Amino acid sequence: MTNAATESATPPTQWVLTLSCPDRPGIVHAVAGAIATRGGNITESQQFGDPETGLFFMRVQVEADLPQSELEASLSPVAEQFGMTWLVDRVGRPMRTLVLGSTTEHCVGDLLFRQQSQRLPVDIVGVVSNHTVLQPLAEFYGAGFHHVPVTKATKADAEARLLELVDEMDVELVVLARYMQILSDDVCTALAGRVINIHHSFLPSFKGARPYAQAHDRGVKLIGATAHYATASLDEGPIIEQDVERVDHSDDVTALIAMGQDVERRVLARAVRWHAEHRVLLDGHRTVVFR
């Protein structure tokens, strides 16, 4: 790939390996062995055994001067032996991401900004919206814009178009950045574990319409946001991240919404970063987050 002279100057590639499997003795030893055999050096690693589900989770960063296929070949027998769900990826490789928005720009704009300025490890290959408001913003940041209107009558077509876009552009991650449309169970299933949603959260929680108005009416002192994987039951997928902001009696509904937007974009950006860095592993309907 490179000649010897330059090779000596190039730092070895960083790889990330994540895995989960039923917990039993010898996993770490076997994985570390498969890595050591190929001259790899483990630079960062986190493990967690869940006593309740009996599952074991591991995320490893490896410095190794070899192609991905060789690393995978070395790990494959171990994975088989322990019944692992696993993946290998290059550290820092931008994840191909499709952002779905509606009319509010705070989450979409924030992801575009962070991709460009803060090395958020995603490659936003497109912005999809059922409105056109976000088009200039998407284009300003060089992301293709796809207008996919949704009405009751066209919802099935719109979702088909969405899956087509995911397919055409090799999308790995779909982010619902205040998309305001509920994905059908079929789409959720088709994209399971690859769709991140953000929504407001309160203590206590409020069901139904106009949640900020309900929160204001109830006189809450904190408003929050939750980022989670989308599942068939929209707001009940595995939680990735949560945070809150302090409010008081003088904050009206408009102020609550503005503060809510702040916490939403902060929480969503963290969830997307951790997902793109393969720090989030599914443990049933919970997540293990190796921050």
- Rounded Cα distance between 233 and 109, Å, is 27
Q: Given the complex with a copy of itself, which of 158 and 231 has the nearer CB atom?
A: 231
Decide if residue 53 touches a copy of itself (CB under 8 A).
Answer: no
Judged by CB under 8 A, which stretch of 81-89, 133-141, 144-152, 179-187 contacts a copy of itself? 133-141
Report the nearest approach of a copy of itself to the CB of residue 167 (Å).
31
Closer Cβ to a copy of itself, 10 or 43, answer by number: 43
83 is a site residue for a copy of itself (CB under 8 A): no
Choice between 2 and 233, CB closer to a copy of itself: 233
Residues in 165-224 that interact with a copy of itself by CB under 8 A: 201-205, 217-222, 224
Of positions 266, 268, 274, 278, contacts a copy of itself by CB under 8 A: 266
Size of the site for a copy of itself (CB under 8 A): 75
Give least dist CB 132 to a copy of itself, A: 16
Binding letters toward a copy of itself, positions 12-41, x by CB under 8 A: -----------xxxxxxxxxxx-xx--xxx
The reply to whether 118 sits near a copy of itself by the rule CB under 8 A is yes
CA 74, 60, 285, 267 torsion-angle sign = negative
How far apart are the C-alpha atoms of 226 and 244, rounded to whole Å?
A: 9
Given the residues 235, 243, 262, 283, the one annotated as active site:
235
> Is 235 noted as a catalytic residue in this protein?
yes
We find the least distance from the C-beta atom of residue 125 to a copy of itself, in angstroms, to be: 21
Site for a copy of itself in 233-262 (CB under 8 A): 235, 238-244, 248-250, 252, 254, 258, 261-262
**Residues labelled as active-site residues:** 235
